[in-house]
Structure 1
């Protein structure tokens, strides 16, 4: 049996989603600002959808972006990356970011640390706490609960939700959760899973802070 190509799988998947949402390719074009001819070529397996296309499809067809990346075959390109020991330190994470050429030259670990410090203050406010408790689940749903350090994020969220820790520890934990929730990442989230490596860096930095006595 001949294995179905990724482009063909995506085309079938998109046809199914269009039918479920009672949408035509022309209507999807209007919603996404992607040319109708481009959508037609993607659906018919004549053109590979790029990450920006997938991001727009996910938003307007109400499906997790990670699901579309799997169907489109992008996940295979980074399969080893998600499980690799290369993600175990902030230094190696920055090396990946620099090697990927997906960020500007001004990005640094310091920039993430500064952002986390700002979020610490916000996480201690009632508005910040409410944002974390109300928005964390939605962000996980949006990405399909897949990505580097998602399990660590879930653990941190439970500690924050149950108020397990000192006020200082909860502020640090909250900063990582806010960083994950707020879409100000240095790498676009739709570049999956590379787009979540800076979130992973934030988690590692926070983990180090929590281990300092």
Structure 2
């Protein structure tokens, strides 16, 4: 039986997204690294997508992971407050981690915020700035991903290198870039592909903070 989100199955949602982006199932398979037969079964609601499938779909299609989790039928707690989007994203990450069986710690946004605060101080040093300038492009090449998460990071990197912003803003941006570059963060990057989910949260936190300013 197909899982549904507001009457829409994941399969139907994927069909619509592929059509909007003019992507064939074969090309989608190449971009996500998931074999065509598996994608076909997911799209036709003959098998449930795993969290790893959903993370790959999210990155490739440039859609929020939370949307795919809900369409796939994963239970996501909803919060009605100003931080609704980011909190539901945290819930999605925790559900992902619990089902992945490779990371047994509780994911906390407070842990990400603490790391960002520490990296903010480091970003103000010459060593921290050099780490960003020398390590960003290398890390982007290693990740080899496209989508809103990476696009936003590139935008932040450009602002940082050009010095566009106040000291406070550049410190925020620098902390996020360091969070992305340095592999040992809240969820270690070597736990691919889940290792970059907390980086996406870090980017979202910084983006929200910059908008408030």
Instruction: Report TM bin, short chain.
Output: 0.5 to 0.7
Structure 1 portions without partners, runs of 5+: 1-67
Say if 2:153 is the partner of 1:153. Answer: yes
Q: Compared with structure 1, are the counterparts of its residues 211 and 70 closer, same or farther at alpha carbon in structure 2 (3 Å cutoff)?
A: closer
In the other structure, the counterpart of 1:99 is 95
Which shows bigger deviation, 70-79 or 137-146?
70-79
Q: How does 1:3-152 map to 2 (within 5 A)?
A: 70-71=32-33, 73=35, 77-78=53-54, 79-82=56-59, 83-86=62-65, 89-100=85-96, 101=98, 102=100, 103-146=103-146, 149-152=149-152
Runs of 4+ in 1 over 6 A off after TM superposition: none
TM normalised by structure 1 equals 0.60
Q: Compared with structure 1, are the counterparts of its residues 107 and 71 closer, same or farther at alpha carbon in structure 2 (3 Å cutoff)?
A: closer
1:111-136 CA-to-partner distances (Å, cap 9, x unmatched) read 00010000000000000001000100
User: How far 1:147 sits from its partner (Å)?
Assistant: 5.7
**Please, what is the CA RMSD of the aligned residues?**
2.7
CA contact (8 A) 2:111 2:186 kept: no
User: How far 1:193 sits from its partner (Å)?
Assistant: 3.9
User: How far 1:190 sits from its partner (Å)?
Assistant: 4.7
Q: Compared with structure 1, are the counterparts of its residues 71 and 145 closer, same or farther at alpha carbon in structure 2 (3 Å cutoff)?
A: closer
TM normalised by structure 2 equals 0.60
